[in-house]
């Protein structure tokens, strides 16, 4: 993926638009996400919140009001979001499930079933985010 000159360096609502572009051009996501349909609520308390719709291999940021009742909620401080997308993470902070256990800055909640049901695609989204973040 190639970040545009407008890609924000810090994780924010706008940053997820760049992630959506990366998802669109990622061959693996296009293959594994064809039948996926889920929502993530991404929150940085006191800073920003964004609803993310993943459907038919495409990630679409949406207004928070669009978030359906069944969704995965990832809430993290700004430091926590940096940990989630850290391309060179430290041990036991290297993965969303690891961070949910071990980082006080990251909370994963909402629907557990939605999380495990879509874990393969979510793991890929995070890998793409790490690659995007590594370019800054």
Partner 1 sequence: MPSTETPASSIENVVGRYINLRSSGRDQRIYFEEAGSGPVILCLHTAGADSRQFRHLLNDPDITSRFRVVAFDLPWHGRSLPPEGWWEEEYLLTTDAYVAIVRDFAAALNLKQPVVIGCSMAGSLVLELARRHADDTGAVIGLSGALKVNGRFQDWSLRPDVNAQQSVPTWTSSLMAPQSPEVSRREVWWIYSQGGPGIYRGDTYFYSQDLDLRGRGQEIDTEACPVYLLTGEYDHACTPADTADAIAEIPGAKGGPMKDIGHFPMAENYPLFKTYLLPILDELHPAEGSQDLNRPALEGTHHV
Site residues (vs partner 1, CB under 8 A): 32, 89, 91-92, 94-98, 101-102, 112-113, 116-117, 119-120, 123
Q: Compute CA distances 108 → 32, 77, 84, 105, 127, whole Å.
A: 23, 12, 11, 10, 17
Residue closer to partner 1 by CB (options 5, 90) is 90
Residue closer to partner 1 by CB (options 51, 96) is 96
7's tokens: 């890609």
H/E element holding 39?
Answer: strand 37-44
Q: How far is the CB of 6 from partner 1 (least distance, A)?
A: 28
Q: How far apart are CA 5 and CA 14, in angstroms?
A: 13
Q: How far is the CB of 46 from partner 1 (least distance, A)?
A: 28
64's tokens: 């928070």
Residue closer to partner 1 by CB (options 60, 123) is 123
Q: How far is the CB of 68 from partner 1 (least distance, A)?
A: 16
């Amino acid at each position: 993926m190639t970040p545009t000159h407008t890609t924000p360096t810090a994780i924010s609502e706008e940053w997820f638009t760049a992630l959506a572009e990366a998802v669109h051009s990622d061959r693996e996501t296009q293959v594994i996400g064809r039948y996926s349909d889920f929502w993530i609520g991404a929150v940085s308390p006191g800073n920003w919140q964004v609803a993310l719709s993943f459907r038919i291999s495409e990630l679409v940021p949406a207004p928070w009001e669009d978030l359906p009742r069944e969704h995965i909620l990832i809430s993290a401080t700004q430091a926590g979001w940096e940990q989630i997308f850290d391309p060179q993470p430290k041990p036991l902070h290297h993965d969303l499930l690891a961070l949910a256990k071990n980082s006080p800055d990251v909370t994963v909640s909402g629907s557990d079933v939605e999380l495990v049901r879509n874990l393969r695609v979510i793991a890929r989204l995070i890998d793409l985010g790490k690659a995007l973040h590594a370019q800054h």
